[in-house]
């Protein structure tokens, strides 16, 4: 079978194939429209036929959730994170320090976080590996948008070696973007480099395309 249709494309096709026949909203499938869709090599139509052949049952693909270690917040603010990370030998980007010092960086104390990762390689098409789509996938899986404080908490606990073993170069924490001094929306990330273990940032916007070797951190629902 060819490329799978999205749920929206699937619904649109079904809507085109239905024909209203009375005021009770009883509808029938127009056979000619089905044939026309098949003849047009519409991959959505191919998915539709597969669905019919499967007894009109939904095929649910299992998702393997990749959890990181749980962390608990301890009340540190951005300035305190900067000091403790530097003391432990971590490197912090200039924009990351800006984000940590912003009023939108809100610390908590005693909050338990259960982080989970969506890997870039899970999305085969480069054009679909966008911020908007990644957040949609997270929502469909029931994941929660994390707070910015999750990034420094994880940076202290996860080594570059462990990030490498995950098969990624960076773990991007998908909190609500925080603007830098230039007004650019930023996300904090754990970045592995040859010159040290970094807490840094990247620009974020809905249509941004990401790499296959990136990991995107959300929160699993609390039990």
- 15-21: which pairs have CB atoms within 8 A and are 24 or more residues apart? 17/48
Q: How far apart are CA 96 and CA 85, in angstroms?
A: 12
Q: pLDDT for 36-69, tens place per residue?
A: 655 655 555 555 666 566 655 554 455 678 999 9
CB burial readout 76-94, b (16+ within 10 A) else e: bebeebbeebeeeebebbe
Q: pLDDT for 90-133, tens place per residue?
A: 999 999 999 999 999 999 999 999 999 999 999 999 999 999 99
Alpha carbon distances (Å) from 153 to 143, 159, 173: 19, 12, 11
Q: pTM value? A: 0.73
Confidence of residue 10 (pLDDT cuts 50, 70, 90): low
Contact of 179 with 188, CB cutoff 8 Å: no
The answer on pLDDT for 8 being more than 60 is no
Q: pLDDT for 188-202, tens place per residue?
A: 999 999 899 999 999
Q: How far apart are CA 194 and CA 200, in angstroms?
A: 14
């Amino acid at each position: 079978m060819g490329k799978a249709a999205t749920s929206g494309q699937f619904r649109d096709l079904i809507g085109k194939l239905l024909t209203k026949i009375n005021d009770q909203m009883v509808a029938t499938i127009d056979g000619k429209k089905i044939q026309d869709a098949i003849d047009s090599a519409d991959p959505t139509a191919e998915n539709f036929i597969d669905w019919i052949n499967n007894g009109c049952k939904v095929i649910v693909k299992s998702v393997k959730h990749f959890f990181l270690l749980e962390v608990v917040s301890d009340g540190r603010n951005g300035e305190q994170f900067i000091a403790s990370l530097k003391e432990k030998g971590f490197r912090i980007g200039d924009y990351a320090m800006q984000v940590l010092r912003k009023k939108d960086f809100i610390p908590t104390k005693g909050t338990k976080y259960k982080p989970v990762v969506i890997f870039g390689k899970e999305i085969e098409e480069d054009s679909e590996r966008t911020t908007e789509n990644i957040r949609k996938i997270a929502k469909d899986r029931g994941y929660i948008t994390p707070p910015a404080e999750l990034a420094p908490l994880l940076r202290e606990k996860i080594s570059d070696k462990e990030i490498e073993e995950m098969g990624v170069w960076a773990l991007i924490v998908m909190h609500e973007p925080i603007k830098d001094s230039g007004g650019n929306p930023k996300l904090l990330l754990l970045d592995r480099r040859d010159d040290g273990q970094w807490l840094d940032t990247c620009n974020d916007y809905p249509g941004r395309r990401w790499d296959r070797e990136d990991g995107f951190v959300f929160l699993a629902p609390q039990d």
